[in-house]
Amino acid sequence: MPVSSSPRTLFDKIWADHVVDRLEDGTCILYIDRHLVHEVTSPQAFEGLRMAGRRLRRPDATVAVVDHNVPTSDRSQPIEEPESRLQIETLEKNVAEFGVPYFPLRSASQGIVHVVGPEQGISLPGMTIVCGDSHTSTHGALGALAFGIGTSEVEHVMATQTLLQKPAKNMRVSVEGKVGPGVTAKDIMLAIIGKIGTAGGTGHVIEFAGSAIRDLDMAGRMTLCNMSIEGGAKAGLVAPDETTFAYVKGRPFAPKGEAFEQACAYWRTLASDEGAHFDTEVTLKAEDIVPSVTWGNSPQDVLPIDGIVPSPSDFKDPAQAAQVQRALDYMGLTAGQKIAGTPVDVVFIGSCTNSRLEDLRAAAEVVRGRHVAATVRAMIVPGSGLVKAAAEAEGLDKIFLDAGFEWREAGCSMCLGMNPDRLTPGQRCASTSNRNFEGRQGPGGRTHLCSPSMAAAAAVTGTLCDVRELMKETV
């Protein structure tokens, strides 16, 4: 482990502790502690190993789940879509052949890979964690260097337990102060992406810092780190602290007893040193952040809920102006209109961004005693079987069902519509997911990203609206 006297960032430290070797041109062989695998981006990698006659080096550092294709309705029946079924069966065949620990569809702990990893204590502070999925950045909430990779790199990790990498640049995003009522981690992150832009973090790892970040619970930190990729960053990080250690302690795969204490002692050394160098610094005031929604087809198209939809004429660059016009056309919006009051057809509360117990509690708080608007289909898709069970133990399912929500099984669901949960062309959705790209939730579907409480408010009023107005009313 190289010892350095100059102040280092959290990223620098995790990086240095995982460099196996440095090649002539500065490319590093970086050791990977955890490799998470799902059914969509792994079949070609397993096939590659098989063709080359290679073994999977560390099945005991690899965990597979099935999440993208799974139906979120009744699971007693076989999966209807033949291609989805084949992809899941292929994963099952591969994990059996290569001896990979696996959470199958009917496991009580099945769920979205980025919910299951932290929840099970598989993802831990100080680790390097990868998965063939861009939202692997989620696990950075624990203070782990976690990032998404392509399938060729999935195969590389399977065969070598390492990746060939060059160090990223350091960026620190500080959010100081206290957020107002109705403002969540999702709003903080949308504000950050709105500020830095969807390519603002390219080539960087973002460390989220400041009092508003330290005040977040682990679910909030995961929401924040999850969408680092929407800001273009390789990964997001929050320094591990007592909130982190309390979260990790006692999880099924976390170190126990003496080993846990030793691990904590190490994790405490990871925080960025005073005076460490950041290539880029961004600061936001928590007080300035309000409940937000997106209007367009890029996550940087963020508006405060009391905001006005922009016009192509606001943009000097003709390519950008054309793009704004295209987004307005696609989204069925008019330049200059208020975003609040826009009617929605569907509300989706779920995804690796916002499907944890805390997210469901926040939504339930808004929904309690109210009913889903007659024109809206509203669905809750918990992030894992364990989240679902915990929510049911608290009676959240009853609040949602009484209000007219669908209460579904865990999976990626309508975040990307690989399973039957899709928007139809022209449908408008308030969604707690992470991407509002054209067609993301189904061909022709229109996505407005927002927090669970804002999505819940849209469900009960039938329009995009300011959740703070509902919070004022006593039900």
Partner 1 sequence: MDKFTELTAIAAPMPNENIDTDQIIPARFLKTIQRTGLGKNAFAAQRYDENGNENPDFVLNKEPYRQAEILITYDNLGCGSSREHAPWALLDFGIRCVIAPSFADIFFNNCFKNGILPIRLPREICDELMGDARQGSNSRLTIDLEKQIIIRPEGNVVPFEVDPFRRHMLLEGLDDIGQTLAHDAEISSFEHQASRAWVPSISMGTAK
Could you list the residues known to form a binding site, using ranges: 352, 412, 415
The verdict on 445 binding partner 1 (CB under 8 A) reads no
Q: Which is nearer to partner 1, 33 or 397 (CB)?
A: 33
Going by the annotation, the residues of the binding site for [4Fe-4S] cluster are 352, 412, 415
Q: Which of 319, 334, 472, 473 binds partner 1 (CB under 8 A)?
A: 319
Site map for partner 1, 247-286, x if CB under 8 A?
-----xxxx---x--xx--x--------------------
SS3 277: coil
Closest CA to 449 of 236, 286, 298: 298
Tell how far CA 417 is from the center of its chain. 16
Footprint on residues 56-85 left by partner 1 (CB under 8 A): 57, 60-63, 68-69, 81, 83-84
Q: Could you give the CA distance from residue 259 to residue 396 in angstroms, rounded to a whole number?
A: 36
Q: Which is nearer to partner 1, 110 or 453 (CB)?
A: 110
* C-beta of residue 57 within 8 angstroms of C-beta of residue 161: yes
Q: Which is nearer to partner 1, 161 or 461 (CB)?
A: 161
Closest CA to 449 of 330, 332, 294: 294
Q: Which of 16, 27, 217, 335 binds partner 1 (CB under 8 A)?
A: 27
Footprint on residues 403-442 left by partner 1 (CB under 8 A): 416-418, 425, 435, 437-440
- CB 443, min distance to partner 1, A: 6
Q: Which helix (H) or strand (E) holds 190?
A: helix 185-196
Q: Which is nearer to partner 1, 31 or 400 (CB)?
A: 31
- CB 133, min distance to partner 1, A: 6
Closest CA to 63 of 99, 31, 88, 28: 99
Give how many residues touch partner 1 by CB under 8 A: 87
Q: For helices 452-461 and 185-196, what crossing angle results, to 10°?
A: 100
Q: Which is nearer to partner 1, 370 or 388 (CB)?
A: 388
Q: Residue 233 corresponds to which tokens in the numbers above?
A: 């960053």
Q: Could you give the CA distance from residue 336 to residue 388 in angstroms, rounded to a whole number?
A: 41
Q: Could you give the CA distance from residue 332 to residue 137 in angstroms, rounded to a whole number?
A: 32
Scanning the structure block, which residue is given the tokens 């009522």? 181
Count of Cβ atoms closer than 10 Å to residue 411 Cβ: 30
Closest CA to 372 of 451, 432, 455, 471: 455
Footprint on residues 87-116 left by partner 1 (CB under 8 A): 87, 90, 99, 101-103, 107-109
Q: Which is nearer to partner 1, 305 or 416 (CB)?
A: 416
- CB 432, min distance to partner 1, A: 17
Footprint on residues 133-192 left by partner 1 (CB under 8 A): 133-134, 148-153, 155-156, 159-162, 164
- CB 253, min distance to partner 1, A: 6
